């Protein structure tokens, strides 16, 4: 494929979806990652796209806020049930606790219920940090790194990004899937960030509505034996719930409010 033709296709894909990752572009155009990255650099210099970490955004529709499209789409799914899961998660916290909240749509909803708390919170979610700084008196800390717009979080490729100085009693995280294979994640960069955070906590608490139970994704974040608490909803498969409990996981079930 000629470079000019390939770059035109890249622009069409990015403009149509507002964002496209390097992986998506390599798959769609059957090109190497190095070729796609060179194309994005050239196109960015010409102002045809906006090059960001992991891919490109459309220059025709740059966002006016920090919420990513992927984050906003996820946030609209099973909202009422996720809200109850988030509320139950916050009920596990006591004033003056030090906690870690990983980025994601389910964990973002914890913000509403954290407004009246007095906690020390480390989060890699800049959307949650922004919300809590405006609506609460919690002490908010952020890791060092770059903004990963697709997921609305901060990622660092460095081993030392100030998280090593933080210690928490609990870490809260969402997941695209959890089952007998473990806790799943969709991106190796996210796993790198989350595993650094997990080293700094005593308990791992997973927020996963029933649609995520038994669901597979591309990568395994951790095994089930590393999970302390799972919060899900009443539409969860009873056999899976039983299995999780047999693995030593405390399972908390909230009522499902979705049809």
The closest alpha carbon to 84, from 241, 254, 253, belongs to 254
pLDDT tens across 147-182, in order? 776 667 888 766 777 888 899 999 999 999 999 999
Average pLDDT, the chain: 88
Helix (H) or strand (E) holding 21: strand 19-21
pLDDT tens across 53-81, in order? 889 988 875 444 444 544 554 555 678 89
DSSP string, 210-259: GGGBT---SEEEE-GGG--EEEEETTS-HHHHHHHHHTT-EEEEEPP---
pLDDT tens across 76-112, in order? 567 889 999 999 999 999 999 999 999 888 899 999 9
Beta carbons of 7 and 42 less than 8 angstroms apart: yes
| pLDDT (0 to 100) of residue 157 | 65
The closest alpha carbon to 63, from 55, 76, 72, belongs to 72
Q: Which residue reads 């997941």 in tokens?
A: 175
Q: Which of 11-20, 63-72, 117-126 has the lowest mean pLDDT?
A: 63-72
| pLDDT (0 to 100) of residue 14 | 87
Say how many Å lie between the first and final Cα of the chain, rounded: 47
Domains assigned to the chain:
3-58 (1.10.10.10), 72-254 (3.40.50.1360)
Average pLDDT over residues 197-210: 96
Give ∠ CA 61-68-157 in degrees, rounded to 5: 115
| pLDDT category of residue 240 using cuts at 50, 70 and 90 | very high
CA 234 to CA 244: how far, in whole Å?
A: 15
Cβ-based neighbours of 146, under 8 Å, separated by 6 or more: 53, 154, 155, 156
| pLDDT (0 to 100) of residue 150 | 63
| pLDDT (0 to 100) of residue 193 | 82
């Amino acid at each position: 494929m000629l470079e000019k033709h390939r770059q035109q296709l890249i622009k069409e894909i990015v403009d149509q979806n507002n964002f496209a990752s390097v992986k998506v572009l390599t798959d769609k155009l059957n090109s190497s990652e190095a070729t796609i990255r060179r194309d994005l650099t050239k196109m960015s210099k010409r102002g045809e796209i906006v090059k960001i970490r992991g891919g490109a955004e459309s220059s025709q529709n740059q966002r006016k806020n920090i919420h990513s499209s992927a984050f906003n789409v996820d946030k609209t799914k099973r909202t009422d049930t996720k809200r109850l899961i988030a509320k139950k998660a916050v009920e596990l916290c006591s004033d003056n606790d030090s906690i870690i909240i990983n980025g994601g749509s389910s964990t973002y909803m914890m913000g509403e219920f954290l407004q009246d708390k007095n906690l020390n919170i480390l989060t890699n979610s800049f959307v949650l940090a922004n919300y809590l700084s405006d609506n609460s008196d919690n002490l908010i800390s952020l890791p060092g790194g770059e903004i990963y717009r697709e997921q609305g979080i901060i990622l660092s490729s460095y081993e030392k990004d100030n998280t090593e100085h933080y210690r928490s009693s609990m870490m809260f995280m969402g997941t695209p899937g959890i089952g007998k294979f473990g806790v799943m994640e969709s991106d190796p960069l996210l796993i790198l960030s989350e595993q650094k955070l997990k080293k700094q906590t005593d308990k791992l608490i997973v927020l996963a509505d029933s649609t995520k139970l038994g669901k597979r994704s591309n990568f395994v974040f951790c095994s089930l034996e590393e999970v302390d608490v799972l919060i899900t909803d009443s539409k969860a498969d009873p056999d899976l719930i039983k299995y999780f409990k047999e693995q030593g996981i405390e399972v908390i079930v909230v009522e499902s409010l979705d049809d």
